[in-house]
Structure 1
Amino acid sequence: MVAVFYKDMLSWYLLTLKIREKLEIENQRTEPVNQDQNLPGLPEITRSDQDKNNHNHEQTPSEPDAGKIEVTKESPRETQDDWVISITDKLEQANRDDDMTIWGKLCIYRVPYYLQENDNKSYFPQTVSLGPYHHGKKRLRSMDRHKWRAVSRILKRTNQNIQIYIDAMREIEEKARACYEGPFGLSSNEFIEMLVLDGCFVLELFRGAVEGFTELGYARNDPVFAMRGSMHSIQRDMIMLENQLPLFVLNRLLELQLGTRNQTGLVAQLAIRFFDPLMPTDEPLTKTNKSKLENSLAREAFDPFTDMGELHCLDVFRRSLLRSSPTPESRLSRKRWTRNTRVADKRRQQLIHCVTELREAGIKFRRRKTDRFWDIQFKNGYLEIPRLLIHDGTKSLFLNLIAFEQCHVDSSNDITSYIIFMDNLIDSHEDVSYLHYCGIIEHWLGSDSEVANLFNRLCEEVVFDTEDSYLSRLSIEVNRYYNQKWNAWRAALKHKYFNNPWAIVSFCAAVILLVLTLSQSFYAAYAYYKPPS
């Protein structure tokens, strides 16, 4: 009985406390808001905001003469100040990012995520890192000691001090940073060290490919600086878009090594020689051009083919593919960015029909004898395509070339146009087999199906305007020929009756037999109506 009585008393006591607390809250709501809450430049605090804030504030003991509860307002004001400062900082950063002079120097891009979904392994280095994007990655650190060996070898060979290279890179640090999409989290000293280390390593590889690594002082069985199997992996990494150094950095480092100025263009030619095994053609660098490079390194006069203001090694390689003769045929609309520029329609990505369909329409294929793999022609029903060599590095090479053309506004889309054209031609392994039979495609992959799958996946998620292609005019001519029914009928007749010598003999015998039969019928009818007198 006593327990029940105390329980009721406790309940009444708690209820009284609740009522008192509620009355105090109601009293606070009726109080006028302090004038210092709504400061200039801050959002106005509404009644609901006050209710929420007042509930969380500490309550101070009431003064005898006031009879009101004083509420502390400093914490919400500080929160509002931090929020406004954060917004201001974001706007200032946006203004800095919107500086068009920064975008004008950008040339080494991060591969967009929509392209990485296709095959990210082809875009990221597996053996060596160059530049800031993959600097310090755990799987690539093992190559750093070989980079330091390259720097040490250069300093011994030239009797120079490392400070010369550091000072030179510090002078062009700001210009080099502007070439990359930032931020990438490297301090000034770290960035300069990276330029010296990676740049010297690249130049040693370039020079070793021309002069010979043993001539530069490396052992014949060196694990890196020798023409071994790992060199192919290094070459493939060095051609990736995210794994580039600005060409002016390499030019400056080579000038310091050779002790002479005005060597512009020499690094570009060294790069072409080094990346020659990745070329998708079977035309290697000529002995004449190789001799020019060797003589230039012997400090004789060097006359580069042309100085086109290349940006980095990937750009050098791309230009060399398109520079082996006059540029590709003019497009229907040559300028990429004009007032009439429009967004490419993903529903219209087809330039031409596949090989099987074109053959059924009477179009014939044959190999065009030229080292310009992109130089395709169509004459008198013959589609002439130069030979294309495909190896295990071709996929990564083409993907990075496409990514560069997709990202760099001042680049043409000639490589992308060619790859999409070939993708349209190849739908199945039968198409690859026939092109291989014609001598157009040569590959060292497992099967023709792998080649077909390679081309069918290269241009996934690629934005491409079919009217902005150097092959647009050729495609129109091929499609016009394809749509003529007589060509299809003639092709079907030839395929059915003239596909082998025995079929031709049978057809000729059938024609002779038909002529004789008609002749016999004619003379029999003629003798019936006009008998001899």
Structure 2
Amino acid sequence: MEARPNGYVSVLENELVEMLKGAVLPEMSRTSEQCIYKVPQIIRQANPQAYTPQIISIGPFHNPRGSISANNNLHEMEELKLNYLKGFLNRTKLCVDDLVLKVQKLENKIRNCYAGLVCFDSNDFLKIIVVDACFIIELFLRYACYPDWKEKDPILSKQWLHNDIKRDLILLENQLPFFVLEEIYKLANINLEVPSFVTITIWYFHRLNQQNINSERLCPKHFTDLLRTFLLPPSFDFAKEMENAGYAIQHVYSASQLSEAGLKFELSESKCLLDLKFDRGVLQMPCFHVHDSTEMHMRNIIAFEGCHISNYDSAYVSQYLSILDFLINTEKDVSILVNKKIISNWMGDANAVATMVNKLCKNVPMPKLNSKYLSLCNRLNGFYENPRNKYKAIFVHEYFNTPCKIASTVTALFLLLFTLIQAVCSIWSLLK
């Protein structure tokens, strides 16, 4: 190897020392506070729009001040957010100084919640937090008094705009820490018949709260986490069953294969989407409502679980969707579940549902299943692989899989029956 002069080594050494001045060792406290993430590129590329705000930016990651490439819609909404801030100040009789002082005290804690580069100095960062937080609180308060605002509010009076904003408020990269919203709400001391900010938040997202979970003991980290909480089992006993670690599973037979083997699908009375039960050849599943926003909701929950939950055995929603991915391969599988009312298909096209489910877990690490789900999958496979059920499935698939096969099989059976009757009659006439 060619020798380098001492001067060259000294220059290189100085450059490395200078580079290291900007490096920071990870702190355990900061890491534990992180809850708002940029979606990893390998996951994002499957459907970038599912993670990117289209109408309004919340927090620093997509704020138009920090990105020259931000779309025009995000820039236009900045003025509207200021109007809401003014409305909030008029409502609460607070002044800007009150808000700034409150948020300044929380700045480090807020920054620690973001697991990514926040390229704003203190002043700009605090402006973003104050404006966005007050916008959200004022919007939620107006929604809580919807009849008074539905004709005059610039958002509530336009259903399409309100729907688009509600969509953006759920995105993982588009979040504020929930404690910031609560602190400002408490500071405002608003005289309403509302005990807490989490209560009006649940009111705002009530259409996504299929289990009617109330605000007791809810401590969401942000709105994406709240949406995930709406799907989790409220029963402590059931949640405890889901905690024990299992293993990743490579295969489960599809709904059509299991149906051909004689398995029955039934709609469960449970409102918890994750509450799957299998007993005596019957798989009970709660209703899964599939609409245009379902993919976006589920993708952001999966991304949050993948980024935030170090013990991936607790990634319950990802585990449920991985089982659903096994059960659904084609539109025939979807049709079986739709006919049993296990899937409520608001998209209309069964093939679109199958495609959506199959793509949800693309590029996402296969989660380890908790013991409850692992046992269920093994029993489903065991049911199909039982020789009696397996040969029944093969027979049904070969001879009764399509209308043409059914028609040809029935015709063949009738021909066989007529031939048998003719043979019996011939033998009978000979004997007689």
TMscore range, shorter length: 0.7 to 0.9
Q: Is the 8 A contact 2:175 2:223 kept in 1?
A: yes
Match of 2:216 among 305, 322, 336: 305
Shift, 1:248, TM fit = 0.7
Aligned counterpart, 1:153: 87
TM-score, scaled to structure 2: 0.83
Does 1:83 find its partner at 2:12?
A: yes
Q: Is the 8 A contact 1:268 1:316 kept in 2?
A: no
Shift, 1:88, TM fit = 2.1
Match of 1:413 among 299, 315, 336: 315
Aligned counterpart, 1:364: 264
Shift, 1:329, TM fit = 5.7
Aligned counterpart, 2:43: 115
Shift, 1:493, TM fit = 7.9
Match of 1:241 among 172, 187, 194: 172
User: How many residue pairs end up in the alignment?
Assistant: 403
Cα shift readout 1:7-33 (whole Å, capped 9, x = no counterpart): xxxxxxxxxxxxxxxxxxxxxxxxxxx
Q: Is the 8 A contact 1:402 1:416 kept in 2?
A: yes
Q: Take 1:392 and 1:97, find their aligned partners in 2: how far apart are those partners? A: 43
Q: Take 2:394 and 2:237, find their aligned partners in 1: how far apart are those partners? A: 38
Q: Is the 8 A contact 2:37 2:116 kept in 1?
A: no
Q: Take 1:118 and 1:402, find their aligned partners in 2: how far apart are those partners? A: 13
Taking structure 1 as reference, are residues 459 and 331 closer, same or farther at Cα in structure 2, changes over 3 Å only?
farther
Q: What percentage of aligned pairs have identical amino acids?
A: 28
Cα shift readout 1:471-491 (whole Å, capped 9, x = no counterpart): 111111111111112234556
1:119-158 to structure 2, matched below 5 A, reads 119-136=47-64, 137-139=70-72, 140-158=74-92
Cα shift readout 1:467-525 (whole Å, capped 9, x = no counterpart): 4464111111111111112234556789989x99xx9xx99xx8xx99xx89x99xx99
Does 1:183 find its partner at 2:94?
A: no
Aligned counterpart, 1:299: none
Does 1:220 find its partner at 2:147?
A: no
Does 1:481 find its partner at 2:415?
A: no
- Greater mean deviation of Cα atoms: 405-414 or 179-188: 405-414
Does 1:196 find its partner at 2:130?
A: yes
1:276-295 to structure 2, matched below 5 A, reads 276-278=206-208, 281=210, 285=212
Q: Take 2:189 and 2:31, find their aligned partners in 1: how far apart are those partners? A: 33
Q: What amino acid is the match of 2:260?
A: E
Q: Take 2:346 and 2:377, find their aligned partners in 1: how far apart are those partners? A: 29
Q: Take 2:110 and 2:94, find their aligned partners in 1: how far apart are those partners? A: 23
Aligned counterpart, 1:102: 30
Q: Is the 8 A contact 2:133 2:180 kept in 1?
A: yes
Q: Is the 8 A contact 1:427 1:456 kept in 2?
A: yes
Q: Take 2:242 and 2:126, find their aligned partners in 1: how far apart are those partners? A: 45
Q: Is the 8 A contact 2:268 2:284 kept in 1?
A: yes
1:249-268 to structure 2, matched below 5 A, reads 249-258=180-189, 266-268=196-198
3-state secondary structure, aligned to 1:431: helix
Q: If you compute each CA radius of gyration, which structure gives the higher value, 1 or 2?
A: 1
Q: Take 2:137 and 2:360, find their aligned partners in 1: how far apart are those partners? A: 31
Q: Which runs of 5+ in 1 are unaligned?
A: 1-45, 51-75, 290-303, 337-343, 526-533
Q: Is the 8 A contact 1:151 1:197 kept in 2?
A: yes
Shift, 1:334, TM fit = 2.0
1:459-470 to structure 2, matched below 5 A, reads 459-468=361-370, 470=372
Cα shift readout 1:28-86 (whole Å, capped 9, x = no counterpart): xxxxxxxxxxxxxxxxxx99656xxxxxxxxxxxxxxxxxxxxxxxxx95x76553233
Aligned counterpart, 1:317: 227
Q: What amino acid is the match of 2:134?
A: C
Shift, 1:417, TM fit = 0.7
Q: What amino acid is the match of 1:458?
A: L
Q: Is the 8 A contact 1:116 1:123 kept in 2?
A: yes
Taking structure 1 as reference, are residues 118 and 327 closer, same or farther at Cα in structure 2, changes over 3 Å only?
farther
Taking structure 1 as reference, are residues 355 and 145 closer, same or farther at Cα in structure 2, changes over 3 Å only?
same
Aligned counterpart, 1:452: 354
Does 1:271 find its partner at 2:201?
A: yes
Q: How large is the RMSD of aligned CA atoms in angstroms?
A: 3.3
- Greater mean deviation of Cα atoms: 225-234 or 124-133: 225-234
Taking structure 1 as reference, are residues 219 and 434 closer, same or farther at Cα in structure 2, changes over 3 Å only?
closer
Taking structure 1 as reference, are residues 387 and 467 closer, same or farther at Cα in structure 2, changes over 3 Å only?
closer
Shift, 1:310, TM fit = 2.2
Q: What amino acid is the match of 2:131?
A: L
Shift, 1:227, TM fit = 6.0
Shift, 1:98, TM fit = 2.4
Q: Is the 8 A contact 2:84 2:139 kept in 1?
A: no
Q: Is the 8 A contact 1:132 1:194 kept in 2?
A: yes
Cα shift readout 1:188-246 (whole Å, capped 9, x = no counterpart): 111111111000111122223322272xxx56143314461111111111111101100
Taking structure 1 as reference, are residues 145 and 323 closer, same or farther at Cα in structure 2, changes over 3 Å only?
farther
Q: What amino acid is the match of 2:44?
A: Q
Q: Is the 8 A contact 2:245 2:368 kept in 1?
A: no
Q: Is the 8 A contact 2:34 2:114 kept in 1?
A: yes
Aligned counterpart, 2:293: 393
Q: Is the 8 A contact 2:38 2:116 kept in 1?
A: no
Q: Take 2:10 and 2:186, find their aligned partners in 1: how far apart are those partners? A: 54
Q: Take 2:147 and 2:11, find their aligned partners in 1: how far apart are those partners? A: 60
1:63-74 to structure 2, matched below 5 A, reads none
Taking structure 1 as reference, are residues 81 and 101 closer, same or farther at Cα in structure 2, changes over 3 Å only?
farther
3-state secondary structure, aligned to 1:442: strand
Q: What amino acid is the match of 2:205?
A: F
Taking structure 1 as reference, are residues 483 and 138 closer, same or farther at Cα in structure 2, changes over 3 Å only?
closer
Q: Take 2:242 and 2:141, find their aligned partners in 1: how far apart are those partners? A: 42
Cα shift readout 1:364-406 (whole Å, capped 9, x = no counterpart): 1121122112211112111111111111110010000000010
Q: Take 1:49 and 1:492, find their aligned partners in 2: how far apart are those partners? A: 73
3-state secondary structure, aligned to 1:229: helix
Shift, 1:259, TM fit = 5.5
Shift, 1:317, TM fit = 1.7
